[in-house]
Amino acid sequence: MPAPPVPDAVLVAARHALDEVPGLPEHRRTTFHARLARWWPDLHAALVDLHGDAAEVVAARLVAVAARGFAERPDDLHALDEQRLLRPDWIQQPDRFGYACYADRFAGDLPGLERRLDHLEDLGVTYLHLMPLLQPREGDNDGGYAVADYRAVRPDLGDLDDLRALATGLRARGISLVVDLVLNHVAREHAWAVAARAGGAEGETYRGYFHVFDDRGGPSGPDAYERTLPEVFPDFAPGSFTYDADLDGWVWTTFNSWQWDLDWSNPDVLAEFADLVLFLANLGVEVLRLDAIAFLWKRLGTSCQNQPEVHAITQALRAVARLAAPATLFKAEAIVGPRDLVGYLGTGPHTGKVCDLAYHNSLMVQVWSMLAAGDTVLARHALSALPAAPSTGTWITYVRCHDDIGWAIDDGDAAAAGLGGWEHRRFLSDYYAGLFPGSPAEGLVFQENPATGDRRISGTAASLTGLGRRRLDPEGGVARVLLAHAVVAGWGGVPVVWSGDELALPNDPHWADEPGHERDNRWAHRPRVTDEVAARRHETGSEAARVFDGIAHLARVRAALPELHAAASVHVLPDTDARVLGVVRRHASGVMVGLYNVSREHRPVAWRHLQEAGLRTPYDALAGEQLTPDADGLLWLAPYAARWVVERQVVEGQAGG
Ligand code: GLC
């Protein structure tokens, strides 16, 4: 089907916007128009889904935003755009390896990151996610997720020039900067919310940016919505609506009462965020983490998550980014059930048109489930049941992040593995809270909800594996932390290490001491990496050194394995030993079989699994050795061992690796 032509009104809007920037060379205009012809169908289709007959009017606005952003984009970033367009799979290369941290907790401030570059480079980092750094509200701000001004940096971290300099400096070292864009809500102190409260004609306009209800009742008021809305923070922010006296109404607040949900059905909101995307992209941010994206569209009678319009919104924003700053990628932060997850990478008409990256929440949950149970049967079912992701989509794989772990285990998957979903979720929270007999974990229960039985867990990787303050199983802990990282680094996609986990840091016992943190125990697993703490990795034989070096080894081996390209198809072997996870990755550059023993025993793997995958001369890239079966046709895995097996023939006398 031929692509629809770009309507004249849209072309005129583009021309006018480009004219506003004096001295724009002719070749730049040509480029913009070529991109417009290329991405117009994506933009148009998304806007028809969202705005029907008004699609073209909204499109003209967004294209004008894109044209301005394009014209203002610095030359070095235009050059980056060209490079990335020539290599669209840059993010899928096996040398992409991530780290996520709070700039202040890891390095003091943005300029301070300079001093920590050796730490990152030694770890193999090429992708750096800095937690929210834009100006938040004062006081409690949900770790920066309540933004008061998207065009300013948190003053104690630096300013916009520091951010630009950091992005440029990191890029020169091959590290992409990743920053949050909070889409679902703004702080109640944000100018839009302030204007809405001020009333008057302008107030009316800004009231329309939010979901405001005059009263709670009626067929489509807060009470009606709450019948099907899950609570995100039942402990400290029950309900999803907050009364505001100035508004004389109830405003939608999914998270905390001071985080006001935006009304994304309002084209003004879409246009504002299109502009913010390009503002951040033009500072040199390469990946935008779209925070809480699942919640953007509200529909009565549903959980108001994962609505189809969310994907249309993402497609529209991405088309704008492609027009102006195609080097920029989008990452979905959608911590949703396994069946809804793949939609964020694009399925059906959105294939390849929404987010480039999405968190593999299911894999994270299954890693913890396998380690607790010492068994892989549930993980096999769950991971096999995931619909295939498009080959252009890339998972962010991770062991821990700044958030709690919610036990997103599907009842159907549990049943297929002979488990009760509720019972298994209960087992996992008991196990990681250290309440299950024999558990070495020292996690904290986060947001227990008696109504649903939901009981999430906070804790660093070290504290969840036996390396906590009580040191319930330090040896096992080191092995489990490294195995968990091997599973996620060997899955494919961009593995992201959560700050402090590479140093085996336990929970921060003083987490509640900081003002505003006292009720949010997620701060326990957001420890500060002081100079003294960071130096521990140099103490030979220390747990910090063993974990750091182990993770750095994974990054190094990965970077040299073309088989780990993220576009591979991945499937889990259904019939290995129950304590072994076998992951087969097929890519044009070769096959890789990841083998992971999740138990404290030696376990066998049938050699035929490797042969059936097509490996004739199997070689373990992690250990750097050629593999051979024993007399019974078995390969034995040591407790918590990981092997990344590829096809290689080591020539006698030459070292592997
Ligand atoms: C995301 C963040 C989480 C935050 C929430 C609200 O889920 O990861 O930390 O509380 O969004 O912005």
Does some domain include residue 503? no
Considering 261, 277, 296, which residue would you say is the last residue of a domain?
Answer: 261
Q: Are strands 134-136 and 147-153 parallel, antiparallel or unpaired?
A: antiparallel
Does some domain include residue 36? no
Does some domain include residue 583? yes
- Give the number of the atom of ligand 1 that is nearest the alpha carbon of residue 403: 9
630 class by beta-carbon count within 10 Å (0-12 exposed, 13-18 middle, 19+ buried): exposed
Residue 608 belongs to domain spanning: 569-647
| Close Cβ partners of 655 (under 8 Å, ≥ 6 residues apart) | 624
Does some domain include residue 351? no
Would you state the pLDDT for residue 339?
82
Q: Are strands 580-587 and 134-136 parallel, antiparallel or unpaired?
A: unpaired
Does some domain include residue 149? no
Q: Is 291 a catalytic residue?
A: yes
Closest C-alpha to ligand 1, atom 1: 292
Closest C-alpha to ligand 1, atom 5: 292
Residue type at 83 in one-letter notation: Q
Helix (H, G, I), strand (E, B) or coil at 291: strand
Record the tokens describing residue 548, joined without a space: 């750091």
Report the 10 Å Cβ neighbour count for 136.
22
Q: In CATH, what number is assigned to the domain containing residue 226?
A: 3.90.400.10
Cα-to-centroid distance, 163 and ligand 1 (Å): 22
Considering 261, 283, 310, which residue would you say is the last residue of a domain?
Answer: 261
Q: How far apart are CA 113 and CA 104, in angstroms?
A: 9
Task: For residue 387, give the nearest of 330, 356, 341 by alpha carbon.
Answer: 341
Q: How far apart are CA 581 and CA 575, in angstroms?
A: 9
Q: Is 56 a catalytic residue?
A: no
**Claim: this prediction has a pTM higher than 0.95:** yes
Mean pLDDT by 10 residues, the chain (657 residues): 83 97 95 97 98 98 98 98 97 98 98 96 98 97 97 98 98 98 98 98 97 96 96 88 98 97 98 98 98 98 97 98 98 90 94 96 97 98 91 96 96 96 97 98 95 93 98 97 98 97 98 94 97 97 98 98 96 97 96 98 98 98 98 98 95 57
Closest C-alpha to ligand 1, atom 12: 145
How many domains are there within the chain? 2
Does some domain include residue 113? no
Considering 261, 284, 308, which residue would you say is the last residue of a domain?
Answer: 261
Would you state the pLDDT for residue 414?
97
Helix (H, G, I), strand (E, B) or coil at 560: coil
> φ, ψ for residue 582 (rounded to 5)?
-115, 125
Q: How far apart are CA 153 and CA 283, in angstroms?
A: 12
Does some domain include residue 242? yes
Residues 223 and 332: beta-carbon distance below 8 Å: no
Q: Are strands 185-187 and 259-261 parallel, antiparallel or unpaired?
A: antiparallel
Residues 175 and 227: beta-carbon distance below 8 Å: no
437 class by beta-carbon count within 10 Å (0-12 exposed, 13-18 middle, 19+ buried): exposed
Closest C-alpha to ligand 1, atom 8: 403
Would you state the pLDDT for residue 657?
41
Task: For residue 572, give the nearest of 562, 580, 561 by alpha carbon.
Answer: 580
Positive or negative: CA dihedral 481, 125, 111, 74: negative
The residue whose CB lies within 8 Å of the most ligand 1 atoms, and thus the one to mutate among 129, 145, 184, 521, is 145
Cα-to-centroid distance, 255 and ligand 1 (Å): 8
Which entry of 291, 442, 508, 577 is annotated as an active-site residue? 291
Q: In CATH, what number is assigned to the domain containing residue 582?
A: 2.60.40.1180
Record the tokens describing residue 191, joined without a space: 């100018």
Q: How far apart are CA 527 and CA 402, in angstroms?
A: 10
Gyration radius of the chain over CA positions: 25
